[in-house]
Chain A
């Protein structure tokens, strides 16, 4: 190199970007740079947390909380005491006992408000989590301006959407245009009912809870289709047609996967499914790996997330079925997508990951926190998928559902039915039986997934397709033909 000075002493590298990277430093250096007051407060909180944990450990181990109404590990006790107290209220209204009415309605309202608050709170922070995490995957920062570390960003977004002008396209059907944002929120809220948060904390502990969940989530198909149809816009129509086809197709693998869960646990009630997993110290994720995979993947199709977000493929049809929606109407669609992602995380946790139990740890840590953590973990997986994978084309998606997932799901149900009947008749200790089933299931899944894919002609090994050839001489058609002849 001719122009280099004799001694190149680089304190800081030359380009601004490299300089910024070095000046910012690693996470550890950034933490060390925090102001002293922040470090003191952090230390106080840390020590306080440890002391509180020790205190809780003491009273739990001492048995002081069991069955008391102030047992915060299971808020169902408090509600139960409340109900008992309310039933003793005297008086009649309209010919019915006031006590009975109150005992029915007040816990219902409390539970409903609780679920809605949780959902609303999650919507406030979930958007922040998603954007920061997506940014971290993409080596950038994400929102960090509005409030400390950008934590007020979702609030700012909500306020912004609320004050926007709501445009209704001229040719749109007004009534049908107003309905979908509301209509799509209803299944997103209702499906939270049967999910058990702790032993006595299932809001709607239906004995057909699983059936209820599957059917309620199918209602959102109607809302999506209505949104696209009423918009008087070809993009929206295209998006909603794709969505309807996709959602309806992926209902079947979901139902078959959950059918295998029912065959093993013997009940449609969600709290019974969780109890089975707790009793047998076995997560259904290990016993039914294929059902977990099918349920998870089909759920991404149900809630329109990557890799199955063809319905709102931003690069093709702008925003799909919610193109024409502006202001808070669009905000509701986005919020529902977020809420649905968490709902799916919670459902996966309940069916396959043991719900609110964690091999006995729920005696110490409240069950709802465990379930919240698992649901958030599911949400994290969704974000990870979104950051990494491109999306499928619609015909590839439908192909995958009908030709691949459904036959394998039926085979899975057959296998699980055989195993369930064996378990019912075999007298061996549970660990032998289920341990054997775990091994068999995992092995068969690993084999069948590849074998079936090969059987229907999917390209199996992901070795790279043909690498480009390096041409020695340039030329035109003749050179191209000779290269191809050689290659």
Chain B
């Protein structure tokens, strides 16, 4: 009698502890090995792009909070930059520095979440996640102090930022920035010295640079594969051209490299925040714009380097206060283009860890 094995379908369903949101994958498996993978998204589709066509540009800023809900400041910044380029609005210098500070704080918070959940996916029962959440909690406290909300901040406005940070913001920020480097070292030492973690993440989910570029990968996933591309250096917006920071780049392109790139980016963000705090000038925190801003008819594709990569906004204006077309270029969705090739032939555990390293946010995928 011969034995045969039959592939079966496993549904890693919308509710699952490790799909980072309502995200569904159907895998066809043979034993422990994945033969094929199919993604089904759309569980969080809220028709943001259609709704945005009937609201003014300022009213559309909260949509960007909820698209990438772990990087609200970056989303806000992207939209505001795009509209400012479209409508030729001047931004005061103080506002630019404040934008940089908050965008980098958001990057640290988002990377804490991303790295923490990656290590939890590898099985560490949330201990490193909760350690990284200490700093994330402090950053969210700073956000709440300034604009009233922790997650969906709605802080950037067209022409600047919404509020001036209160006086107790700056000492708290100084304290945070002073203790961050040793905390990041603590996290690094806690996780990276761990052989089990290295065994789980080294040489897993490798993407070559050619595949990464062709597959429109952006952000830490692209940099993990060795491609030194960062929009903050390529197309400097706000005051990034005056900041001195480096772009960490991985070597192999595996899960461990992406984790390391994110960790190093938090260190660089601390540097940027410190420089911005030293150099910030006095001045107004936004320019006055008409309540219903009517940009010239035209189009713009404005983008920022969010924690997940290139968050772009394609706006078409027809001279009315509402955009004619409002499209969010979601890095999480496009980073998933290569998931199928990467997962074929891998074990299920490896596929889960690879998905965790791509750092997806389902709100951005579905919009």
In the complex they form, whether A and B have CB atoms below 8 Å apart is answered with yes
Task: For B247, give the chain A residue with the smallest CB separation.
Answer: A471
Docked complex Cα distance between A466 and B352 (Å): 23
Task: For A3, give the chain B residue with the smallest CB separation.
Answer: B170
* Min C-beta distance of B105 to chain A, whole Å: 12
Docked complex Cα distance between A406 and B247 (Å): 47
Please tell me if A14 contacts chain B, counting CB pairs below 8 Å: yes
Interface residues on B, range: 35 or more
Docked complex Cα distance between A484 and B257 (Å): 14
Q: Cβ of A59: which chain B residues have Cβ within 8 Å of it?
A: none
Is B202 a contact partner of A483 (Cβ separation < 8 A)? no
Is B234 a contact partner of A3 (Cβ separation < 8 A)? no
Partner of A468 from the list B145, B230, B257 (CB cut-off 8 Å) is B257
Is B172 a contact partner of A314 (Cβ separation < 8 A)? no
- Name which of B67-75, B106-114, B129-137, B288-296 contacts chain A: B129-137
Docked complex Cα distance between A229 and B359 (Å): 34
Q: Cβ of A16: which chain B residues have Cβ within 8 Å of it?
A: 141, 144
Partner of A471 from the list B130, B195, B246, B347 (CB cut-off 8 Å) is B246
- Name which of B79-87, B278-286, B337-345 contacts chain A: B278-286
Docked complex Cα distance between A440 and B350 (Å): 41
Please tell me if B301 contacts chain A, counting CB pairs below 8 Å: no
Partner of B194 from the list A235, A390, A466, A477 (CB cut-off 8 Å) is A390
Is A468 a contact partner of B196 (Cβ separation < 8 A)? no
* CB proximity to A under 8 Å, residues B192-219: 192-200, 202, 209-210, 213
Is A138 a contact partner of B130 (Cβ separation < 8 A)? yes
Is A390 a contact partner of B233 (Cβ separation < 8 A)? no
Is A390 a contact partner of B141 (Cβ separation < 8 A)? no
Q: Mark B327-367, 1 if CB is under 8 A from A, else 0.
A: 00000000000000000000111101000000000000000
Is A234 a contact partner of B213 (Cβ separation < 8 A)? no
**Known contacts A138-B127, A396-B199: A477-B248 contact under CB 8 Å:** no
Is A465 a contact partner of B202 (Cβ separation < 8 A)? yes
Please tell me if A215 contacts chain B, counting CB pairs below 8 Å: no
Is A465 a contact partner of B199 (Cβ separation < 8 A)? no
Task: For B197, give the chain A residue with the smallest CB separation.
Answer: A390
Is A316 a contact partner of B234 (Cβ separation < 8 A)? no
Task: For A310, give the chain B residue with the smallest CB separation.
Answer: B349
Is B127 a contact partner of A387 (Cβ separation < 8 A)? yes
Please tell me if A470 contacts chain B, counting CB pairs below 8 Å: yes
Is A459 a contact partner of B18 (Cβ separation < 8 A)? no
Is B126 a contact partner of A138 (Cβ separation < 8 A)? yes
Is B250 a contact partner of A459 (Cβ separation < 8 A)? no
Is B9 a contact partner of A234 (Cβ separation < 8 A)? yes
Docked complex Cα distance between A293 and B183 (Å): 33
Please tell me if A456 contacts chain B, counting CB pairs below 8 Å: no
Is B226 a contact partner of A484 (Cβ separation < 8 A)? yes
Among A13, A15, A138, A464, the most chain B Cβ lie within 10 Å of the Cβ of A15
Is A18 a contact partner of B233 (Cβ separation < 8 A)? no
Docked complex Cα distance between A8 and B18 (Å): 45
Partner of B227 from the list A15, A309, A386, A476 (CB cut-off 8 Å) is A476
Is B192 a contact partner of A464 (Cβ separation < 8 A)? yes
Docked complex Cα distance between A266 and B308 (Å): 63
Q: Cβ of A390: which chain B residues have Cβ within 8 Å of it?
A: 119, 122-124, 194, 196-197, 200
Partner of B196 from the list A317, A391, A395, A472 (CB cut-off 8 Å) is A391
* CB proximity to B under 8 Å, residues A1-57: 1-5, 8, 10, 13-18
**Known contacts A1-B170, A470-B247: A483-B134 contact under CB 8 Å:** no
* Min C-beta distance of A162 to chain B, whole Å: 25
Docked complex Cα distance between A465 and B259 (Å): 12
Partner of A394 from the list B130, B195, B349 (CB cut-off 8 Å) is B349
Q: Cβ of A481: which chain B residues have Cβ within 8 Å of it?
A: 209
Q: Is the interface of A mostly helix, strand, loop or mixed?
A: loop
Q: Cβ of A424: which chain B residues have Cβ within 8 Å of it?
A: none
Is A315 a contact partner of B257 (Cβ separation < 8 A)? no
Is A387 a contact partner of B349 (Cβ separation < 8 A)? no
Q: Cβ of B213: which chain A residues have Cβ within 8 Å of it?
A: 476-477
Please tell me if A263 contacts chain B, counting CB pairs below 8 Å: no
Docked complex Cα distance between A14 and B134 (Å): 15
Is A479 a contact partner of B228 (Cβ separation < 8 A)? yes
**Known contacts A17-B137, A316-B352: A483-B226 contact under CB 8 Å:** yes
Task: For B131, give the chain A residue with the smallest CB separation.
Answer: A139
Please tell me if A140 contacts chain B, counting CB pairs below 8 Å: yes
Docked complex Cα distance between A393 and B10 (Å): 18
Please tell me if B251 contacts chain A, counting CB pairs below 8 Å: yes
Is B171 a contact partner of A393 (Cβ separation < 8 A)? no
Task: For A4, give the chain B residue with the smallest CB separation.
Answer: B170
Is A389 a contact partner of B194 (Cβ separation < 8 A)? yes
Please tell me if A462 contacts chain B, counting CB pairs below 8 Å: yes
Is B18 a contact partner of A316 (Cβ separation < 8 A)? yes
Q: Mark A169-180, 1 if CB is under 8 A from B, else 0.
A: 000000000000
Is A480 a contact partner of B278 (Cβ separation < 8 A)? no
Q: Mark A316-355, 1 if CB is under 8 A from B, else 0.
A: 1110000000000000000000000000000000000000
* CB proximity to B under 8 Å, residues A354-396: 386-396
* Min C-beta distance of B189 to chain A, whole Å: 9
Is A14 a contact partner of B251 (Cβ separation < 8 A)? no
Task: For B126, give the chain A residue with the smallest CB separation.
Answer: A138
Is B123 a contact partner of A14 (Cβ separation < 8 A)? no
Is B171 a contact partner of A395 (Cβ separation < 8 A)? no
Partner of A393 from the list B8, B121, B249, B350 (CB cut-off 8 Å) is B350
* Min C-beta distance of B320 to chain A, whole Å: 37
Docked complex Cα distance between A238 and B352 (Å): 15
Partner of A15 from the list B11, B119, B145, B250 (CB cut-off 8 Å) is B145
Please tell me if A473 contacts chain B, counting CB pairs below 8 Å: yes
Q: Mark A284-323, 1 if CB is under 8 A from B, else 0.
A: 0000000000000000000000110110011111100000
Task: For A307, give the chain B residue with the smallest CB separation.
Answer: B196
Is B251 a contact partner of A480 (Cβ separation < 8 A)? no
Docked complex Cα distance between A420 and B282 (Å): 83
Please tell me if A63 contacts chain B, counting CB pairs below 8 Å: no
Please tell me if B163 contacts chain A, counting CB pairs below 8 Å: no
**Known contacts A138-B130, A139-B130, A315-B352: A483-B249 contact under CB 8 Å:** yes
* Min C-beta distance of B163 to chain A, whole Å: 13
The 3 closest A-B pairs by CB, nearest first: A391-B123, A471-B228, A14-B172
Known A459-B198, A476-B229; 4 more pairs at CB < 8 Å: A462-B198, A475-B228, A475-B229, A479-B228
Chain B contacts to A: CB under 8 angstroms? 8-11, 16-18, 32, 119-127, 130-131, 134, 137-138, 141-142, 144-145, 165, 167-172, 174-175, 192-200, 202, 209-210, 213, 225-230, 233-234, 246-252, 256-257, 260-261, 264, 277-278, 280-282, 347-350, 352
